[in-house]
Amino acid sequence: MERNEVSVHQVKIYVAIKNAAGWITNKEIATTAGVAERTARQHSLNLVKLGVLDLAEVFPAHKYRFSEKAAKRNAAYVNRLESARQVFSL
């Protein structure tokens, strides 16, 4: 579900995942982004639904990475995230 507003938390999570060397868990996302793990879970799942992230459903924790196809799947939302990144100086 795409929203009009892009929160600073969502941008921090986007940046943490985009800068990761590979697959990353929600716990790692939360630590890197400086947000609560619950917030990381919520936003990472939303970014998967929007086509920005890839999800690997593995045990013991799901892992995420920035999708190589993000620009094709949802270029408008990636552009909004990048614009918000500049606004928030992240």
User: In residues, how long is the chain?
Assistant: 90
Q: What is the pTM of this model?
A: 0.91
- Could you list the residue range(s) of the whole structural domain that residue 76 is in? 8-84
User: Under the phi-then-psi rule, with left for phi > 0, alpha for psi from -120 to 50, and beta for the rest, what region is 56?
Assistant: beta
Closest CA to 32 of 48, 53, 15, 46: 15
Residue 56 near residue 63, CB atoms below 8 Å: yes
Flag whether 89 is in a domain.
no
pLDDT tens, 31-40? 999 999 999 9
pLDDT tens, 40-73? 999 999 999 999 999 999 999 999 999 999 999 9
Give the CATH number of the domain where residue 39 resides: 1.10.10.10
- Overall number of domains in the chain: 1
Flag whether 31 is in a domain.
yes
